[in-house]
Structure 1
Amino acid sequence: MGIRAWVVVEPPDRRGLRRITIHGKVVGSAWSLRELRKVLGRLGYPADMDLDDRSCVYWRGGDSGVWPDDRGWRRRVVIALMLAGLLGSMVLHVGIGWADAIGALTFAQRLVGVLFLLAGAVQGAALPAVVDYWGRRQVRLSGALVLLGVLMTLATTTLLLFLWLRERELIAAVLLFLALWCWSLWALRNLIREKVWRGIPHPRKFAAGVTVTALMTAISLGYSSIYKPIAAPYHFILKAEFGIPWTDADSPYVHVPLKLYAKNDGGIPVYIVVDDYTVWGHVSEFSASGEGMKEWNGEGSDSGSSQAEAFKSKEVLENIASGQFQGPGSTLDSGEEFSMEKVVTIPKGTRYETLDAVLQFAILRQDRGKLDDKFYSSKRSWVQSEGRYYCQPDVCGKHVIYHGRVRYNNNLINVTRKPRYVATFWSPEEEPQVFISSFNFKKKKTSEPIYGIYEALDENEVEKEADRYGLSWVSVNSEVSVKGLLKQAQH
C-alpha cells in the first residue's frame, strides 16, 4: 500500500457523531465503526484496514470502541415525526392559501393567500432540512429552516383554533388543527433543547424577519376582513317607472309600459341572490266622513310601508304582475347597470285607483362571499323528480328554489366551521325569501313548507350569517294614478 494521509477521528459530539478529518479537512462523519469504514472506503482506503493502527488512524476522545450515543432508532423516530408534521402543515397552508391567492376579490385577500403559499413553500424546503439537521448537518441553515417551519405551524394552528373557538362547531378539521398545534409545541421543545439558534448565521435578523412576516399577515387579515368591508359601502340607483300607455279601440285592455333599472353606483361588486318586481293595484272605498284613518290597523308596519288617508277606507292590494329582474346568481359589478322593460295589461274599465310598482332584490357582497356554481340552477318545489326539496303545491304553494354553497372570501373562516348554504324561494304570489345557514337540502331532504324550514333554523345563526356575508335588501317603488295614465293613453 502506498503512503496515505493520516486519518483523524474527532471526539463524539453530544449526539454521538464523530467527524473524520484528513489534513484538517472534514471528509465525513460516522455514528459507528461500520460507517467509518464506508467513509474511508469511498476515499480509497482498503476495507480490511486496521483502524486501531495509530500510524494510520489517530483517535481523539476515545478509541474505536467509543460510540456513546449511537441511538439510530431514536433519530429516525424524531425525523419521521418532524417530516410528518411539516408535511401536514405544508398541505394545510397550501390548501388555505390557494383558494385566496387565485380567487379572492381584493388585493389584500390575495396577499394573505400568497403569504400562506409562501409558508407552505418554506415548510416544503424544511423537509430535506430535517433529514440534514438530525443527520450529519452538512447545511448550516438546515436548523433555521426547520425552526421557521415549526414557528409557522404554531402561529397558523393557534389562529385556526382561535377562529374555531368563536364558532365551536363540530368539524373533523379541528382534530387536524389540534394535532398540528400539539406537534408544533413538541417540535419547538426539541429544537430548543438542541439550541438550534446556534447554527443560525444572524439570529437577530432571522427573528426580525419572522416578526415582520407575522405582522404583515396580521395586517392583511385585518384589512381584508374588517377595514375593507367597512370602508367600501355599497350604493345602488334603482328605478321603477311607468311609461305612456297605449290601447286600441277594438281592445278592452290598456297596455302600460314599465321600465325597471338598477345600477351599482358603489365600489363593491355584488351577487343578486334573489330579485322580484311586482305591480300592485290599489282598490279602496271612499269615506265621506273623513274617518278612514280610524280604521288603520298597523298592517305593513314591519316593512315601513304603513299609511292611512282620511277619505280612504278598506284599502285592498291586488297583485297584477310579478316576475324576476336579472335572476338569482347574476352579478352587478361596480358601475354596471341593468334595465328591463315590461308591459302591464289592465282592463279599460278597471276599478284600480293607483298602480304601485315595486322592484326589490337581495344582494350578497362579493368582497365577503362567493357563490357556488350549483346555485345558478333552479329547482321547482312542486316537481318531486327534481329532488332536494319537494312539497305538494296545495300545502306549500309553488316556489322556484335556488340553493348552493357560499364560501367566505377569507378561507381561514371556511376551514374552521361547517359549510354555509344560500337558499332562496321565489313565487309570483308571495314575497321572495332568502337565508344563509348551515342547512343543506341535499343531506336533509324535507317536505316541510317554507315557514316550517324557517322555524327549524336558528334565528341567531341566520342573522349572524346575513351580517357576515353582507346580505341585505334594496328596493324602490313608484305609484301612479290610473286615471292619469288612462288620460295619457295613445290609440
Structure 2
Amino acid sequence: MENTPKVVVEPPDRRGLRRISIGGETVGSAWSLRGLRRTLKRLGYPKHMDVHDRSSMCWRGGDSATWPDRTWRRRTTGALLIAGLLGSMVLLVLIGIPDAFGALTFAQKIAGWVFILSGALEGVAALAVLDFWGKRQSKYTGAVVLLGVLIALGTHSMLCFLWLQEREYTRYLFVYIPLWFWSAWALWLLVREKAWRGTPHPKKFAAGVAATALLATVNLAYSVVYEPSATPVLFKLTVRFGKPVLDRDGQVLHVPLTFHTRNIGKVPAYVINNDFSIYGISAKLSDDVTGELKARREAMVGEADSAELHTEAPEWETISAGVTADPGTHFEPGEEFSYEKIISLPAGAEYDSIEAHLTMQLMRKDRGKIDAEFSTPHYSWDKTEGQFWCPPKECGEFVTYRGRLRHNNNLVNVTRRPVYVNALWTVDADDSYTYTFLSSSPDFTRPEDPGKAEKESSRESERYGVLSLSAYSTVSFAALLNPPAE
C-alpha cells in the first residue's frame, strides 16, 4: 500500500462536482460519496475501502462529508435545457419542412433546409447537455450547447418580431413566446457558466457562428422580401370575334368568340376568379345638337363612357355571361388557354355594336398555395351549404369558392392567423359580377365590420400578390351582318 499512489479528491467546483485524480492524472469525478466509491470500484479498489485512511486518500477543500451538489436542482436545470432545445428542434423542423419540400423557388427551398438543419443542431445540442451539465468529459459540449441556445434565441426573436408586426392570433404563439423567454434564460445561464471555456480557438468559433447567422439572415431576406417582389406577373388576355354566319332562314346570326389567356412572364399564377360578359350596345341620335359635347360632366365623373355630340348615352344589354377557367386553375410560365363560344343574335336586333369583356383575378403562385377545397363551388341559395348559405332576399344569389391560403414562406404561416381566399360570382338581370376577397373571418358573407374586413382583404391581397386583369373587344353590328368580302 505504501507504493500505491494516493487517491486525491479535489475541492468541489461551483456546481459541487469533485474531480478525482491518481498520480496527477484525472481518473474521474463524483457528485457524492457513493459516486466516489463507484469510480474507485471501477478502478479496482476494494468495495469497502476506507476513505478516511490518509495513507491512501487525500481530501482537498473538504473531507468525505463535503458534497455541496444539489441533485434535484442540477437535474431540473438540465431537464429544462433539454426540453427547450427539443421544443426548438420540433418547431424549426415544422417550419422548414413545407418550404424545403414544397417551395417553388430554389431560394425558398434553401431557407427551408436551413431551418431543418438548424433543428438538427438543436437536437445535437440537447444531447450535449447530458455531458455539459453532467461531468463535462468533453471540452466541446459547452460550445455545442451554446450554439444551440443562440440559434434558438435568434429564431424565436425573429418569430416574435414578425408576430408583433400584425399581432394576430395563432396557436404557434403559445410555443415561440415561451421558448423566447426560455432561450434568454438559457443564454444567461451559459454565459454565467462560461460554456465556451475549454473550446479550442473560441474567437474562430464565435466568428463562424456570426457568419452562419448572417448568411442565414441574408438568404431569408432574399427569399421572403426581394425575390417574390422583383419579378412581375405578366399575362396577356385577348378577346377576338370570329367570322359570323347566318342560319338557313337568315333570322339568327351566329358569332364565334374566342377568349385567350397566356402567361407571358416567369411567375406561375392561380386563377382566383374570372368571368366574361357580352353586351349589345345601342344609342339614339339626339335632336338637341347645341354644338357642345353632351353630358360632359357625367363623362368626367365616370357616369358615362364618353361625351358625344350627336347621340344620347348608350344603353347596354347583357347578352351572355359566364366563366372561362375554373377557380383554382393555375398557369405555369408559357402556358396558355383558349375558351371558344358562339353567341346567337337575332339578325334584326337593334344593336349598334357588340362588346365582349373578359376579367380575371390572379394570385402569384410563388407566394402562396391554395388548398384543393377551393375548386368546389358552393351555392348561396342552398340551405344545405351551411355557412355558405345566405338568404337570397338579403344577399342575392351567387356561387362561392373558398379555400385555405398558405404562404410559401412558412414563417408567415406560423406568425399570422389563417387566411382564406373567397371568390364570388353572380349574374343578375343587368350584368355579371365577380368579387374576390381574402378573409380570416369564418362568417365572410356578413362581416361584423365591413370596413375592417375590406382593409384586411386589401392588405392580404397585397401580401399574396393578387391582381386583376381585363380585356375587351368591340365590333359593329352592321359589320357582323355584312362582313367585308375576302
Name the TM-score class by shorter chain: over 0.9
Equivalent in the alignment of 2:468 = 473
Greater CA drift, 210-219 or 392-401 = 392-401
CA distance in structure 2 between the partners assigned to 1:293 and 1:278 by the alignment: 29
- Counterpart of 1:482 in structure 2 is 477
Name the CA shift for 1:453/1:352 in 2 (closer, same or farther; >3 Å). farther
SS of equivalent residue, structure 2 residue 217 = helix
Pairing 1:143-158 to 2, within 5 Å after superposition: 143-158=142-157
2:205 equivalent to 1:210 = no
TM score, norm. by length of structure 2: 0.92
Q: In the alignment, what sits opposite 2:15?
A: 15
Q: Secondary structure at the match of 1:286?
A: coil
Q: Judge conservation of contact 2:299–2:307 (CA < 8 Å) in 1.
A: no
Answer with 475-484 or 110-119: which moved more.
110-119
CA distance, structure 2, for counterparts of residue 101 and residue 172 of structure 1: 22
Matched-pair contact (CA < 8 Å) for 1:285–1:312: yes
**Among 446, 457, 465, which residue is 1:462 paired with?**
457
Contact 1:246/1:489 (CA < 8 Å) preserved in 2?
A: no
Task: Report which stretch shifted further, 47-56 or 459-468.
Answer: 47-56
Note the alpha carbon deviations across 1:200-255, whole angstroms, 9 max, x for none. 22211221122112212221222122221332011111110000011222362111
CA contact (8 A) 2:294 2:308 kept: no
User: 1:463 and 1:300 mapped to 2: Cα distance?
Assistant: 27
Q: Helix, strand or coil for the counterpart of 2:437?
A: strand
Whether the aligned pair in 2 keeps the contact of 1:247 and 1:489 (CA below 8 Å) is no
Equivalent residue number for residue 436 of structure 1: 438
Distance 2:175 2:7 in 1: 50
Cα gap change, 1:481 to 1:284, in 2 (>3 Å): same
**Alpha-carbon distance between aligned partners in 1 of 2:297 and 2:104, rounded to the nearest angstrom:** 47
Distance 1:273 1:453, change over 3 A: farther
SS of 1:12's equivalent in the other structure is coil
AA of the residue aligned to 1:173: Y
Map 1:356-375 onto structure 2 (within 5 A). 356-375=355-374
**Aligned-partner Cα distance in 1 for 2:300–2:401:** 27
Partner letter of residue 19 of structure 1? R
Q: Which residue matches 2:38?
A: 38
- Report how far residue 296 of structure 1 moved: 5.5
Q: Secondary structure in 1 aligned to 2:196?
A: helix
Change (3 A) 1:453 1:253: farther
- Contact 1:245/1:489 (<8 A) preserved: no
Give, in whole Å, the separation in 1 of the partners of 2:391 and 2:4: 96
State how 1:331-370 maps to structure 2 within 5 Å. Answer: 331-370=330-369
Instruction: Judge conservation of contact 1:236–1:266 (CA < 8 Å) in 2.
Output: yes
Measure, in 2, the Cα distance between the counterparts of 1:300 and 1:166.
41
CA distance in 2, matches of 1:466, 1:202: 50
CA distance in structure 1 between the partners assigned to 2:469 and 2:307 by the alignment: 24
- For residues 157-194 of structure 1, the C-alpha deviation after alignment (integer angstroms, 9 at most, x for no partner) is 21111111111223443333221111111111111111
Query: How far apart are residue 23 of structure 1 and its match?
Result: 4.4
Which blocks of at least 5 consecutive residues in structure 1 are unaligned? none
- In the aligned structure 2, how far is the partner of 1:82 from the partner of 1:390? 51
Superposition map of 1:141-220 within 5 A: 141-220=140-219
2:78 is equivalent to residue 79 of structure 1: yes
Distance 1:146 1:18 in 2: 22
Aligned to 1:109: 108
| Per-residue deviation, 1:461 | 1.7
| Aligned residue pair count | 481
Answer whether contact 2:107 2:223 (CA < 8 A) is retained: yes
The residue that corresponds to 2:69 in the other structure is 70
Structure 2 regions of 5+ residues with no counterpart? none
Partner SS for 1:70: coil
User: What is the letter of the counterpart of residue 121 of structure 2?
Assistant: V
Task: Report the more deviating stretch, 284-293 or 428-437.
Answer: 284-293
Alpha-carbon displacement from aligned partner over 1:67-112 (angstroms, at most 9, x marks no partner)? 2x21111101111211121122112211211121112221222221
Give the match for residue 49 of structure 1: 49
Q: After alignment, is 24-33 or 344-353 more displaced?
A: 24-33
Root-mean-square deviation (Å): 2.5
| Distance in 2 separating the partners of 1:10 and 1:223 | 54
The aligned amino acid for 1:366 is K
Which residues in structure 2 correspond to 1:47-446 (within 5 Å)? 47-67=47-67, 69-250=68-249, 252-290=251-289, 293-295=293-295, 298=298, 306-429=305-428, 430-440=432-442, 444=443
Rounded Cα–Cα distance in structure 2 between residues aligned with 1:382 and 1:327: 20
Q: What do the CA deviations read for 1:379-412 (whole angstroms, capped 9, x no partner)?
A: 1111111222112334433211001111222221
Question: What's the CA shift for 1:31?
Answer: 0.9
Following superposition, the deviation at residue 52 of structure 1 comes to: 2.1
Offset from partner CA, 1:348-372 (integer Å, 9 cap, x none): 1111111111111001111222112
CA drift at 1:489:
9.5
CA spacing shift, 1:82–1:418, aligned 2, 3 Å = same
* In structure 1, distance between residues paired with 2:170 and 2:425: 32
Note if contact 2:368-2:408 (Cα within 8 Å) is conserved in structure 1. Answer: yes
Q: Is the 8 A contact 2:298 2:304 kept in 1?
A: no
Using a 3 Å threshold, how does the CA distance of structure 1 residues 472 and 28 change in structure 2: closer, same or farther?
A: same
- Cα distance, 1:379–1:102 mapped onto 2, change above 3 Å: same
Matched residue of 1:473: which SS? strand
Distance 2:205 2:65 in 1: 41
Normalising by structure 1, what TM-score?
0.91
Q: CA deviation at 1:301?
A: 5.9
Would the alpha carbon gap of residues 410 and 301 (structure 1) be closer, same or farther in structure 2, given more than 3 Å must change? farther
